[in-house]
Amino acid sequence: MDWSGIAAQLGAHLRASVAGVRPGEGWWIVVAVAAALVAVVVRPVWRWTIVHELGHAVVGLLSGRKWQRFVVHPDMSGEVSTLGRPTGIGRVLTTAAGYPAPAVVGAVGIWAALAGWGPLVLLALAVMALGALVRARSAFTVLALLVVLAGDLAAWWFGDVQLVAALVCGVSAFLMLGAWRQLLNVARSDDPGQDPVVLAMLTRLPRGGWVAVFVLVVGAFSWWALMMLWPVLGGWLGLFSGR
């Protein structure tokens, strides 16, 4: 095996990842967003919101808590547990991070895709998947993360600028739209274990207030994402409407 050749190719890919080559704006943005919309409608697909759980984990680590376990269930739901004080600002921030996380990551991902940083997003996802593997506590979780990692690295290695941008944009739009579906479900749920209920017990803000906070955060990042995509989406919508 030519290790020097592989190292040279790896170096070339890494240099290309930080080059920031902008993709040409066009129909691929419309296709990516349309595919994301379809995926959110399909229940088994949209439940792949691992970012919700990783949002808890990352904010928990940043607030001084210890990330203990990460589990993905066969029905595509998941759970994360962190160790630390049962009350306090760290616990509140960790609990509150889940529902806004897909929208935040989605908006940043769309910005990165349009700015030419899609390959860096794929590398960041690979690092997160490797970190989650260390905390995986079931065979299915390990399998799910390995599938994500393999697909992510394959796209990074074989994809060109346009393909990587389309993939990152599509996944990011999926996370953004999925965040709204998650919010709708939690607003209608009477499950006492849901994040807004837990936050209401940890703070003086009632459950409805926390749902409103989530809506404001997700709405703000959704507006940012829409403003970035609108120059292309608006033109195509006008074309279909006959304007």
Q: Tell me the pLDDT tens digit for each residue of 173-218.
A: 999 998 998 888 888 888 888 999 999 999 999 999 999 999 999 9
How far apart are alpha carbons 142 and 201 in whole angstroms? 33
In the structure encoding, which two tokens stand for residue 152, read together? 């992510």
More confident residue, 28 or 5: 28
132-186 pLDDT, tens digit each: 888 888 888 888 889 889 999 999 999 888 899 999 999 999 999 989 988 888 8
Report the pLDDT value the prediction gives residue 44, as an integer from 0 to 100: 53
Report the pLDDT value the prediction gives residue 112, as an integer from 0 to 100: 95
Mean residue pLDDT across the chain: 85
Q: For residue 186, what are the contacts with CB-CB under 8 A and spacing of at least 6?
A: 99, 194, 195, 196, 211, 214
Q: Which of 31, 41, 34 is nearest to 178 (CA)?
A: 41
83-98 pLDDT, tens digit each: 888 888 999 999 999 8
- Give the lowest-confidence range in 37-51, 100-114, 194-208: 37-51
Q: Which of 136, 142, 223 is nearest to 176 (CA)?
A: 223
